[in-house]
Amino acid sequence: MIKATKPITKINRIRHDIDATGIYLGRLAVQIAVLLRGKNKTSYTPNADCGDTVFVSNVNKLKFSGNKINQKIYYRHSGYIGNLKETKLKDLFKNNTEKVLYKAVSGMLPDNRLKDNWLKRLKFVKND
């Protein structure tokens, strides 16, 4: 039995502008992940990149629930013995606000070949 996937003829990428003022980090990350994957479209196909482009502004005005700004810690390890690095959310948000949202959205997306393409379409708008 031969099963053929439906070919996607033309992908209409829509630009979504999102203002992050006063929105909680997790709720915004879920909303962005759905738009990047294209799950809001009727032509959604899990094995094809049919998502939209998302532009986020006012990332520095995000909200965090509870005491998360002081308690959340991001860990990374180089692979060498005793080389576990940790960064607090408060420090990362102060130094690089876009990276906080980028890491949250990246965690909401599945780990597959399309993840890099989805994250390339996540753009940040600098506001003065």
Q: What pLDDT does residue 8 have? A: 64
Contact call for residues 20 and 92 (beta carbons, < 8 A): no
Does residue 73 carry a pLDDT above 90?
yes
Higher pLDDT, 126 or 93: 93
Structure tokens at 66: 């509870």
CATH topology of domain 15-65+97-125: Ribosomal Protein L13p; Chain: A; (3.90.1180)
* Average pLDDT of the segment spanning 91-103: 96
Distance CA 12, CA 41 (A): 10
Distance CA 60, CA 45 (A): 34
* Average pLDDT of the segment spanning 69-81: 96
* Average pLDDT of the segment spanning 45-59: 93
Q: What pLDDT does residue 127 have? A: 77
Contact call for residues 18 and 31 (beta carbons, < 8 A): yes
Q: What pLDDT does residue 47 have? A: 87
- Entry pTM: 0.89
Q: What pLDDT does residue 20 have? A: 96
| Least confident piece of the model among 39-53, 77-91, 92-106 | 39-53
